[in-house]
Amino acid sequence: MIRIDIDICKRCGRCARVCPSAVYTQEKGEVPVVRKAKNCIQCGHCVDVCEAFAIQHSDFPAENIHRVQKENIPSASSLMELMKSRRSNRTITPAPIPSEALSDIIEAAYVAPTAENSRKVKVTLLQGEDIQAVEDATMKFFLRLANILMSPMVRPLTKLFLRDLYNEAAELYRFERKWREGKRPCTCNGTALLAFSTPKGYDFGWQDCNLAYQNASLMAEAHGISQIYMGLVQTALKFIGRKKTERLLHLPKNHKLYALMALGMPAFYYPNYSDKPKK
């Protein structure tokens, strides 16, 4: 249900101008009219743009509409400082992440924009033994791969045609030593993992998940929490298969993983940031 309170409507027409689905029409100087309520995609643009709170929308009850606290919005310079100082800080300690901060990070992911306001992104939180299971699956996959590529018969071909993999073998065996010592090098010893997924076949899964990831990453940085993109793990999971990935990450059924973030409390913070070299 969508209706406009004509007694308090300012007839500014903003609702008609911002609605992406042409739910409203307006004659100049008149109260906007709800013409195509069935087209509504629940984006909330109309209720959020109305200064008079004149729009009554069943999907957005009055208690869910909040006046923007402009004094709490960071300045452009402070936001730029946050983005420039953000690092993939891998000095993660066993200290627990405050639950309030973790909630903020997940909420930040969910308020990110999505294509057509589809809101199909699911953020799955993993902790404890679930992270260890991901670590073990990743490590075992790469060790099996290394045993093939670095075997006496195949190694010359690996060195010739897969030079990057050949050069990374030493790093992999360093990871193996740490793994056998009880550490988690593939997941950077994170105390939490966030898996970003959407239903399989959704056309904008990659875009929506990485918009959500960016929001979560900035919120983690604001809380002083390390956040690291798990590219190595994602590479392994691609070959492990979707069904096993669903089980390992506890994803909703028929969901596809698009981004994976490790979180943890760092041992120290970076006091400086350097300008990136131009390429």
Q: Which domains does the chain have, with CATH numbers?
A: 2-64 (3.30.70.20), 74-270 (3.40.109.10)
Q: What is the mean pLDDT of the chain?
A: 91
Q: Residue 190: which of 264, 99, 260 has the closest Cα?
A: 264
Q: Residue 126: which of 117, 135, 115, 118 has the closest Cα?
A: 135
Q: Is the pLDDT of residue 9 over 80?
A: yes
Beta bridge partners of 255: 199
CA distance 218 to 105: 8
Q: Residue 43: which of 106, 118, 110, 120 has the closest Cα?
A: 118
Q: Residue 213: which of 133, 122, 131, 135 has the closest Cα?
A: 122
Choice between 170 and 130, residue whose per-residue pLDDT is larger? 130
> Which phi and psi (to 5°) does residue 260 adopt?
-140, 130
Residue ranges with strand state E in the chain? 2-4, 24-25, 33-34, 55-57, 122-126, 192-199, 226-229, 255-264
Q: Do 217 and 261 form a contact (C-beta atoms < 8 A)?
A: yes
pLDDT in the model for residue 276: 80
Q: pLDDT band for position 144 (50/70/90)?
A: confident
pLDDT digits (tens, 9 = 90+) for 263-275: 999 999 999 999 8
Q: Residue 73: which of 222, 249, 192 has the closest Cα?
A: 222
Q: Is the pLDDT of residue 228 over 80?
A: yes
Give the pLDDT mean for 106-121: 95
> Which phi and psi (to 5°) does residue 157 adopt?
-70, -40
Beta bridge partners of 123: 196
Q: Is the pLDDT of residue 67 over 60?
A: yes
Q: Is the pLDDT of residue 241 over 90?
A: no
pLDDT digits (tens, 9 = 90+) for 154-179: 555 555 555 565 566 667 778 888 99
pLDDT in the model for residue 278: 79
CA distance 113 to 106: 14
CA distance 163 to 186: 21
Give the pLDDT mean for 100-110: 98
Dmax over CA atoms of the chain, in Å, equals: 83
| Strand, coil or helix: 27 | coil
pLDDT in the model for residue 89: 94
Which of 123-137, 151-165, 179-193 has the lowest average pLDDT? Answer: 151-165
pLDDT in the model for residue 161: 54
pLDDT in the model for residue 239: 87
